[in-house]
Amino acid sequence: MLTTTEGEDRTILIVRDAWLLDLGRKPYREVWNLQKALVNRRADDKIPDGLILVEHDPVATLGRRGKREDVLDPGLEIIEVERGGEATYHGPGQLVGYPILKLPDRLDVKRLVTDIEEVLLRTCADFGIEATREGPERGVWVGGKKIASIGLAVHRSVTFHGFAHNVSTDLREFLKLRPCGHDGGIMTSMEKVLGHPVDMEDVKASVIAHFQGVFGVTFRRVNVSELLPEPPAGRKSRSPGAP
């Protein structure tokens, strides 16, 4: 997803400004509504490209090919969404990234998936984890187990949804569903692979650095109010200083 101009004997990398929104931990629906609002703002060229980073409260989401029977625990909240793929779990200890990117061509989605995989492969390498793209479907794999999932959607030529990278995720939660149609035991995490705690902030820093390198952007950290003139649907406005 790098933008370049080619001369007779050189290629010049054009680095673009982009925003970074680190939300900490938020409910899934709130961030889903936020994504949709930002997609429209990006489609109208009111904001540049950007990336949301977040951890979610426990939830199962079903992509376009997902089936409700793939969620085995009736107590787990289910949200049907427009991303590609099947069922997956989101919860604490999982770093979720939502790239809001305007694509020049819808066919660039395949390249986008490859570039996201590259960001996560490099992040794993920073922590001494030998990861690969080689698995039953797209994503990032370690020793035959899936450490990161990718599922995207495109609206008005702008991407949303994104990746879910297991840092210190409670892997027992995946046993409550069939992630991407597999037995929940297929999932792993950075902590499981390494055998010791991994700091989420360190992983975020690695993802941010590699996203900038792979996508040719320079991030500026922002707040939601800098991107949206009004709160997104489903989110109540709050007084200044309110938590």
Catalytic residues: 180
Three-class SS state of 215: helix
End-to-end CA distance of the chain: 37
Residues 161 and 39: their CA atoms lie apart, in Å, by 10
Mapping DSSP to helix (H, G, I), strand (E, B) and coil, where does residue 64 land? coil
Return left, alpha or beta for 95; rule: phi > 0 is left, psi -120 to 50 is alpha, else beta: beta
Strand order in the sheet with 78-80: 78-80, 59-62, 87-90
Task: Write down the H helix ranges in 127-242.
Answer: 190-194, 200-215, 224-227
Cross-strand partners of 151:
162
Strands (E), the chain: 3-6, 11-14, 16-26, 50-56, 59-62, 78-80, 87-90, 94-100, 140-142, 145-155, 158-166, 217-221
Q: Which residue has the tokens 């109208």?
A: 44
CA pair distance 116, 72, nearest whole angstrom: 29
* DSSP at 187: B
